[in-house]
Structure 1
């Protein structure tokens, strides 16, 4: 089968990671090995629609400038897809832990899932482990059993897995291993309290500790929209609490959405060599329109974001390495009126204003951010275009990254974020309320090597 090619570059992003062509969704295997950050992603290279999943692969010295590598994993004949997973360094090799997805009857959506290994000595060429699968689904589970995230703690490996219990509620299972090949179940780390508030399946779980707080990051399916909450088809968010080290159960608070935009799903984190917890996500959602499909590609990943716990909440900030993209400071002044942006732009606002804080428009597509009482409202001129976040603190700072078909907004150093795909017909114009302090940078274009 011949790989698809991009036919039009109009929406191709300048500094976000994409595939060279074809479909991508979840980031996988975010890791650091032999001097490079590695990023894998769910990939179908033969069409701009979803198909049997491969693992696409790129590497970077700085998490910003990526070099595309050969496809790391192909589905076997007996597999219907290499679904999401993670990577860990062990025995001087890079190990991939992924879900094998096997259809019994695709038309009836009957399938089963198991967990598998592949490894590489050079971080480029991967070999599947001959003893696969290394873990099959438990008896108290439905068919949903996927997205392993593995980490090493002392001399042991732990794996958190997304699962649906036989009560048809979402949950995260915790497993333990000495060698990545034999696993024993330790606990149900956490499970949904009920269907409408916490969902029927938890995808892409990730478990880590920041500043003494244990955090379970995941993407629950089946939450009911409630006011300004849960407005997308599926959500991504976190549970914050403390792990009981005897029972391995998480004593936790309520589910919190991590991003309030239209186009954010399926996160994965890594721990950098200098100790930062960095997250990326699929910069789309299953109900996103993805107009780039007609150009031979679909999907991209967010910029990398450092996670911080502050005031009992998870904050996310652009990693410091993003500053390396700045080519020229265009503006630093008290704002007044309109500013023409370039394709790749970063701007920041310092303001105490109410009302409309800024507007981006190319004449056809518009995005605004407005402060209303204790809400921050994002509006774009599309169907179901409004999203909002409850925020009682003053909104004093906004940092915004604009690319050829995306906008990422960080409010108050990451207290609130909005992630959006915006299909600009030309570089947008920025309109800012007078009196705000404005800074604009032109960013590097065509950053990644495909």
Structure 2
């Protein structure tokens, strides 16, 4: 307890010491969740209890690099207005001394049971891993119960990120893993009481089935039921680029299948990326009281040029995506902005019906660094249609190629880089711009592109262009701080 209190105080001191510098950053976001100082990564323990949403997160308060992680904590009653709470977990015990790594939360007997990975390294950097439990009555103060799951046979010490749920009268846990022969896998465990866990087997990957040769590590698994199907979301590491696919250092995506809770078998189809942009990883979902499957993702990717990131000089780095609702449409997972985000809109809406002929133009009143755009009734007869977001990003759809492209200026070398996906037609775009981020929802959530962008700080222009002829309706709202 003494070390725990000491770490909490040190984190608070770091916040106070750097808060003025952090707030001076021109790339600080307006309506996304960010760390008050230091580094933020994976969403953890996403849950709603007693009408309050809790989102915990991997947090390194003392630097903008990785290290012995804490669990930071945001809470909200509406998914729009968030409070930054006291530290939830500190790496204060022997079984977590090198970090309280990612995990999940479940409600049981009116309490939050948070499962997480305790990370331990020795002087030679050899790793030990423990799946641990901490219990809270209020979602803020936690009582640690220590390790419950030790490393099963057949896996390396890269065994982490437990996600727990209840199905029928049994609790299940999936854990991201690496087999001894260096294959990415998702391990399955089960329990009757949340304390004693039995290893069942590998539910996906491990050198077999459709995910047989599919990277060397699976992180942040999440298995849940959605509209009649069982969806396994995970983040594989070690995939080689294939055409437009797998262009980031690591990926995040899902497979669709059927899970048998009696046998632990999971039959599924091929892997599909959840997001096509530059910055999306380690998503986690929860089922809220309205029956919605909600998702937060980390708006970055591990090992992706963090040392060059523009916000480091202001003593912070990274943020969460906006909360999204998941839906199944024709066997595919769609992501849509949650309905509550409409509360962010200013009362005034600017709208146009636009016709473009071989031109690029700005529209009066449609500009800004913190805005929501909805472009609908898009009709492009030939050529391409584009939207330029200041000098930070560019969305292009080619009718002939049937490809949607997002381009941005690299913050590493200033060169233009792009991400793409095939798209048979473009009917609408829902775009959230927030200072140094953009989230693009295409065709009612059929595809998404999530990216950080770093435009010239005073540039808030938005331009529309067409190579031939384009007609569309655009609506714009300013987002209130």
Give the count of matched residue pairs: 439
The structural deviation recorded for 1:248 is 1.5
Query: Could you tell me which residue of structure 2 aligns to residue 91 of structure 1?
Result: 109
1:326 pairs with 2:341: no
- Distance of aligned partners of 1:221 and 1:196 in 2 relative to their CA distance in 1, 3 Å threshold: farther
How far has the Cα of 1:193 moved from its partner?
Answer: 4.7
CA contact (8 A) 1:280 1:305 kept: yes
Provide the secondary structure at the position in 1 that maps to 2:379: coil
Partner of 1:448: none
Between the aligned partners of 1:90 and 1:113, the Cα distance in structure 2 is 25
Structure with bigger helix share is 2
Partner Cα distance (1:26, 1:155) in 2: 29
Counterpart for residue 139 of structure 1: 153
1:444 aligns with 2:468: no
- The SS at the match of 1:134 is strand
Q: What pairs up with 1:96-115 in 2 under 5 angstroms? A: 96-105=114-123, 109-115=125-131
Q: 1:28 pairs with 33, 44, 53, which one?
A: 44
More deviation, 8-17/268-277: 8-17
CA contact (8 A) 2:374 2:430 kept: yes
| Structure 1 residue 322, shift from structure 2 partner | 0.9
Deviations 1:302-341 (A, max 9, x none): 0011111111111100011111111133321113631442
Contact persistence 1:358–1:430 (CA under 8 A): no
Judging changes above 3 Å, is the alpha-carbon distance between structure 1 residues 436 and 109 closer, same or farther for their aligned structure 2 residues?
A: farther
CA distance in 2, matches of 1:254, 1:197: 12
Q: Name whichever of 382-391 and 315-324 sits farther off.
A: 382-391
1:294 is matched with which residue: 309, 313, 319?
313
- Shifted more, 321-330 versus 141-150: the winner is 321-330
Please tell me whether the aligned partners of residues 192 and 199 of structure 1 are also in contact (alpha carbons under 8 angstroms).
no
Deviates more, 1:352-361 or 1:423-432: 352-361
The C-alpha deviation readout for 1:45-100, integer Å capped at 9, x for no partner, is: 11222221000001001112110000000002521100000011112211110000
Cα distance in 2 for residues equivalent to 1:182 and 1:196: 30
Corresponding residue SS for 2:14? coil
Alignment RMSD, CA only? Answer: 1.8
Identify the residue that residue 294 of structure 2 maps to in structure 1.
Answer: 278
Cα distance in 2 for partners of 1:329, 1:196 equals: 52
Cα distance, 1:77–1:242 mapped onto 2, change above 3 Å: closer
How far is the alpha carbon of 1:285 from its aligned partner?
1.3
Alpha-carbon contact 2:25-2:311 (below 8 Å) kept: no
Shift of 1:378: 1.2
Structure with greater contact order relative to length (CA < 8 Å, sep ≥ 6): 1
Uncovered stretches (5+) of structure 1, i.e. residues with no partner: 446-450
Q: Residues of 2 paired with 1:266 and 1:444: CA distance?
A: 28
Give the structure-1-normalised TM-score.
0.93
**Matched residue SS, 2:244:** coil
C-alpha distance in structure 1 between counterparts of 2:236 and 2:52, whole Å: 31
* Match of residue 81, structure 1, among 75, 92, 99: 99
1:254 positional shift: 0.9
CA distance in 2 between counterparts of 1:384 and 1:110 reads: 40
Match of 1:71 among 81, 87, 91: 87
What is the CA deviation profile of residues 399-443 of structure 1, one whole-angstrom value per residue up to 9, with x for unaligned ones?
000001100000001111000101231352111245211111111
1:365 CA displacement: 2.9
- Tell me the distance in 2 between the aligned counterparts of 1:332 and 1:319: 22
Displacement of 1:244 in angstroms is 3.2
- What SS class does the counterpart of residue 311 from structure 2 fall into? helix
| Partner of residue 370 from structure 1, selected from 382, 391, 397 | 397
Aligned to 1:380: 408
Matched, 1:311 2:347: no
**Distance change (3 Å), C-alpha of 1:197 and 1:230:** farther
Whether 1:191 and 2:205 are equivalent positions in the alignment is yes
Q: Deviations over 1:336-363 (max 9, x none)?
A: 631442231100112122544332343x
**Aligned mates of 1:197, 1:191 — CA distance in 2:** 8
1:177 to 183, 191, 200: 191
196 and 248 in structure 1: CA distance in 2 versus 1, 3 angstrom threshold: closer
- State the SS of the aligned residue for 1:324: helix
**Which deviations, in whole Å up to 9, do the C-alpha atoms of 1:14-47 show, x marking residues without a partner?**
1111121111000000001122000000001112
Instruction: Give yes or no for contact 1:197–1:224 (8 Å, CA) kept in 2.
Output: no
Which of 208, 214, 224 matches 1:208? 224
User: Do 1:22 and 1:47's aligned partners in 2 also have CA atoms closer than 8 Å?
Assistant: yes
- Range with bigger deviation, 280-289 or 328-337: 328-337
**Which has the larger displacement, 4-13 or 197-206?**
4-13
